[in-house]
Amino acid sequence: MAQEMSDVTNTPVVLHPPTEPRTDATKDRIVRAAAKLFLARSYHSVGVNEICEAAKVKKGSFYHFFESKSDLAIAVIDHHARAMWRMLDEHERAARGPVNKMRATAQVTRTVHEGLVKVFGRVVGCPLGNLALELATTADEAGKHAANVLAEWEARIAGHGRDAEEVGLLAPGTDPDELAHVIIATMQGMILLAKVSNSAVTPIYEAMDRAIDHGVRRI
Distance (Å, whole) CA 112 – CA 204: 11
Asked whether position 136 contacts its own copies by CB under 8 A, the answer is: yes
Among the listed ranges 7-15, 20-28, 80-88, 117-125, the one in contact with its own copies (CB under 8 A) is 117-125
CA distance 31 to 21: 16
- Which residues are within 8 A (CB) of 1 and not within 5 positions of it... i.e. 6 or more apart? 15
User: Alpha helix (H) ranges present in the chain?
Assistant: 2-7, 24-40, 48-55, 59-65, 69-94, 97-120, 127-134, 141-166, 176-196, 202-215
- Please state the closest distance from residue 140 (CB atom) to its own copies, in A: 10
**Residues within window 175-194 making contact with its own copies, judged by CB under 8 A:** 178, 181-182, 184-190, 192-193
Q: Half-sphere exposure of 173 toward its Cβ, with a 13 Å CA cutoff? A: 2
Binding residues with its own copies: total (CB under 8 A): 41
CB-nearer residue toward its own copies: 98 or 143: 143
| Interface with its own copies (CB under 8 A), residue from 13, 16, 45, 166 | 45
Beta carbon nearer to its own copies, 61 or 188: 188
Q: In the bound complex, what is the minimum distance in angstroms from residue 195's beta carbon to its own copies? A: 5
Residue 10, judged by CB atoms within 10 A of its CB (0-12, 13-18, 19+), counts as exposed
Contact residues toward its own copies (CB under 8 A) are 40-42, 44-45, 122, 124-125, 129-130, 132-134, 136-138, 143, 146-147, 150-151, 178, 181-182, 184-190, 192-193, 195-198, 203, 207, 210, 214
